[in-house]
Amino acid sequence: MLGIGRRRAATATRRPIIMLAGLAAVLLVALARLAAPALFDQASGLVFDRYQRLSPRPYRDAGVRVVDIDDESIARLGQWPWPRTELAALGEAIAKAGAAAIAYDIVFSEADRTSPRFLAEYQARSGASAAQIAMLKSLPDHDARFAANLAATPSTLGFFLTRDRPGAQVRPKAGFAVAGTQAGASLTDYSGAILPLPQFQESAAGLGFVSHRGDSDGIVRRAPLVARANGILVPSLSAEVLRVAQGAGSLIVRSSDASGETNAGAPEMVGLKIGEAEVPVTERGEIWLHYGLPAPERTVPAWKILSGRVAPAEMERLFSGRIVLVGAGAIGLRDLVATPMRERELGVVVHAQAVEQMVLGEFLERPDWAAGLEMAVLLGAGILLALLMPSIGALPGAFLAGGLMSAVAGGSWYAFEAERLLIDPTAPMLALLGCYLVVTLFTYLREEKQRRYIHGAFDRYLSPELVRRITDDPSRLELGGEVREMTVLFCDIRGFSRISEQMGPQEIIRFLIAFLTPMADLLLARRATIDKYIGDAILAFWNAPLDDPDQHENAARAALEMIEGLERLNETMPERKDSSWPGRVEIGIGLNAGPCCVGNMGSAQRLSYSLIGDTVNLASRIEGLTKAYGVRILMGEELARELPGFATLEVDRVRVVGREKPATIHALLGDENLAGAPAFAAFAERHARFLDDYRGRRWNEAEEALALNAEAAAGHGLALLYARYRLSIRACREHPPGDGWDGVTIAETK
């Protein structure tokens, strides 16, 4: 059992190494998550995008409308830019219908070139009369009319924030009150802005930026509500129009050190109050957008309003008390952004969805404890997998890893679907996957090392098929010693001492290689395990380390094939110039079957897979008798009983050296073809009668049987055996045996 103990100790030693490798993979992902969060942000963004596509925000009328200057509006009312009088008329109609606020997702940073004063300048350059020029200058200015409309309606204008170059200073329409320390350490800071014309700024009730900033992949997942322009807090268009709609005087920023919040470092923005709306925001002053599917009922084409196609009652139904955003959706005018739901979405629709979420109070949130929870799940699940997987095996480990990953993904999805929380599963799942792959890799390498060990230990002694079966399933190899029913073969060259006297050392080695190699090939082809080479002798066995239900037949056929193979060698080897073949070579083969103890034998320093037992000793003695009886293959009685279809004959009962109980030995003369021949059957029957007469002391009948069988016996290689019996009968006649004689021959040598 020493081999089993050593193997278990080695396995126990390797298991902590594999655990540490799995833990290292988990910790590496954890460190990467802390040191380089941007690497995971895009992956988590894609996960959250998938969640939104699986569960988009159901559309509910939150009192938000989009007036779209679409392609048909351009076709009906003329190319863009429209005269500001058209926009004034549009705003007037919407306001007349009772709109709570009107926001323009259009930056009016330049004067209307269609205004009469610009036409007057053009006509003056073209040589028009003074009267014509004076008449044009007397007409109302388009920008003035639009400014008047802005002043008369609850309007909000948009502007662009810039970072590439300094721009105009923004003067917000409403201030910001701060609960807590001045927030904004992570707010995006812009260097300037592209603003509407001053008269428009003065006239409008609100002013908000329309700039969208996508993530690194360009997808807009969050809508900014607050930014900083040259150190001044400014609202977005969506936040400002909501303020104007409620008539609120200012926006209230709540920072992380305000009442009820834990100050964990520099103050950050955590909330925004716009009138009655409480809005949770990120530290960058953004809200996570939960996009819905396209909602046609939200949008009204501008041409229908300007052409009077919408009845007053319908106008009131559409716009009364509503927040209206005016944007351009016509080709060439589109402000398009990529969202989780669509590759190209109108920017004004993104503003509209942000306003809807603030009105309804329905938000996606990524709470400040989310990162800590994700790290705890990463470490907890990863460490659990790393500790358990090396002990439970590959398939259960795969189920465990899959179950943990499913639990992480399922928990993240549940948080989104049920609680509208954004819990990122990517880092924990990556840690679990990394741990699984690393542990699997190390386990594979360990098994490969074990396979190499098995190959090194057995591939020179077992057939390739047996080695493959063991390496595919090492558990089938029980080391350390076990009792099995086995078949043993001893093969020895007759007269090897005489042969070796005629050769030098190198010639002996070449001869042995030339003899042993084909003999070993024949044995391995019959699924034998070669125990060892003892000089010129071979010890092989069957039914270990793997079961061989055909062990007896395989051993018998291997022995017969070795005799045939030797005949071929005797014919071909002397003709080879590089051969040291010493003329004709003869061998003797002893076979036996029975229980043996097989396994790792030897000392703690050196082990050998071998077998011991009385069956082995008797096989060795039987092989030694082949020379005395002149029979090439002899075998024990137990094996002869297992080969009823082969051509076998009982040879003698022998009391071998070192064994009190006599053994009945049999000759193996051929396979089923010989056994089925009528001539052999007659010969075997006469041989059996001879043995019966011999052991019954009927010497005359025994001699007659010998004479009748002599020619056939010589043909089967039994001439020396029959000569021994003739001498034995003669001796018994001259000196009759005593009453205790049982016909057993006593072997005097091994």
Mapped to the 3 state alphabet, what secondary structure does 92-149 carry? Answer: HHHHHCCCCEEEECCCCCCCCCCCHHHHHHHHHHCCCCHHHHHHHHHCCCHHHHHHHH
Token code pair at residue 592:
């036996």
For residue range 642-658, list pLDDT tens digits in order: 999 999 999 999 999 88
User: By three-state DSSP, how is residue 527 classified?
Assistant: coil
Q: Of 92, 63, 97, 215, whose CA–CA distance to 150 is shortest?
A: 92
Q: What is the per-residue pLDDT for 265?
A: 58
Share of the chain above pLDDT 90, in %: 62
Query: Who wins on pLDDT, 475 or 733?
Result: 733
User: By three-state DSSP, how is residue 12 classified?
Assistant: helix
Please say whether the dihedral angle defined by the alpha carbons of residues 689, 695, 698 and 701, taken in this order, is positive or negative: positive
**For every residue of 372-406, which 3-state class applies, written as one string?**
HHHHHHHHHHHHHHHHHHHHHCHHHHHHHHHHHHH
Contact in structure between 238 and 355 (CB atoms under 8 Å): yes
Is a pLDDT exceeding 50 seen at residue 12? no
Is a pLDDT exceeding 50 seen at residue 311? yes
Question: In sequence order, which residues have a C-beta less than 8 Å from that of residue 606 and are 6 or more positions away?
Answer: none
Superfamily (CATH) of domain 478-639? Nucleotide cyclase, GGDEF domain (3.30.70.1230)
**Cα–Cα distance for residue pair 265/287, rounded to 1 Å:** 22
Element (H, E) at 190: strand 189-190
Token code pair at residue 498:
């005489």
Token code pair at residue 343:
């590759």
Q: What is the per-residue pLDDT for 323?
A: 97
How far lies 299's CA from each of 63, 67, 259, 352, in Å? 12, 6, 41, 10
Please say whether the dihedral angle defined by the alpha carbons of residues 70, 72, 78 and 79, taken in this order, is positive or negative: positive
Is a pLDDT exceeding 70 seen at residue 478? no
Residue whose tokens read 């008329």: 89
How would residue 573 be classed by pLDDT, with cut points 50, 70 and 90? confident
Token code pair at residue 269:
């923005």
Query: Residue 322's CB: how many other CB atoms inside 10 A?
Result: 21
Contact in structure between 560 and 643 (CB atoms under 8 Å): no
Q: Give alpha helix (H) positions in 420-550.
A: 426-458, 464-472, 496-501, 505-525
Share of the chain above pLDDT 70, in %: 91
Contact in structure between 614 and 653 (CB atoms under 8 Å): no
Residue range 537-545: mean pLDDT, rounded: 94
How would residue 740 be classed by pLDDT, with cut points 50, 70 and 90? confident
For residue range 403-432, list pLDDT tens digits in order: 999 999 999 999 999 999 999 999 999 999
For residue range 627-643, list pLDDT tens digits in order: 999 999 999 999 999 99
User: By three-state DSSP, how is residue 468 classified?
Assistant: helix
- Residue span(s) of the chain under CATH 3.30.70.1230 come to 478-639
On whether the pTM is more than 0.85, the answer is no
User: By three-state DSSP, how is residue 257 classified?
Assistant: coil
Is a pLDDT exceeding 80 seen at residue 136? no
Is a pLDDT exceeding 90 seen at residue 384? yes
Is a pLDDT exceeding 80 seen at residue 9? no
Residue range 441-447: mean pLDDT, rounded: 78
Quote the Cα angle for 62-63-69, to 5°: 115
β 206-209/155-162 pair status: parallel
User: By three-state DSSP, how is residue 154 classified?
Assistant: coil
Read off φ and ψ for residue 582, nearest 5 degrees. -90, 60
Contact in structure between 544 and 610 (CB atoms under 8 Å): no
How far lies 696's CA from each of 410, 438, 742, in Å? 89, 77, 9
Q: Of 454, 436, 452, whose CA–CA distance to 394 is shortest?
A: 436
Token code pair at residue 634:
């002899």
Largest interatomic CA distance in the chain: 170
For residue range 326-374, list pLDDT tens digits in order: 999 888 777 788 999 988 888 999 999 999 999 999 999 998 899 999 9
First to last CA, the chain: 32
Q: What is the per-residue pLDDT for 168?
A: 78
Q: What is the per-residue pLDDT for 344?
A: 87
From 9-13, 109-113, 533-537, 722-726, the region with the lowest mean pLDDT? 9-13
Is a pLDDT exceeding 70 seen at residue 463? no
From 284-298, 537-551, 594-608, the region with the lowest mean pLDDT? 594-608
**Cα–Cα distance for residue pair 261/626, rounded to 1 Å:** 99
Contact in structure between 118 and 125 (CB atoms under 8 Å): no
Environment class of residue 138 by beta-carbon count within 10 Å: exposed (0-12), middle (13-18) or buried (19+)?
Answer: exposed
DSSP string over 306-370 = HTT-S-HHHHHHHHTT-EEEEEE-STTT--EEB-SS-SSEEHHHHHHHHHHHHHHT--BB--TTH
How far lies 429's CA from each of 34, 49, 91, 507, 630, in Å? 16, 17, 52, 67, 75
For the chain, the average pLDDT equals: 88
**Cα–Cα distance for residue pair 622/591, rounded to 1 Å:** 7
Contact in structure between 335 and 348 (CB atoms under 8 Å): yes
Contact in structure between 467 and 456 (CB atoms under 8 Å): no
Half-sphere exposure (Cβ direction) of 610: Cα atoms closer than 13 Å: 13
How would residue 10 be classed by pLDDT, with cut points 50, 70 and 90? very low
Paired with 530 in beta bridges are 540
How many residues comprise the chain? 750
Element (H, E) at 148: helix 142-152
How would residue 261 be classed by pLDDT, with cut points 50, 70 and 90? low
Is a pLDDT exceeding 70 seen at residue 604? no
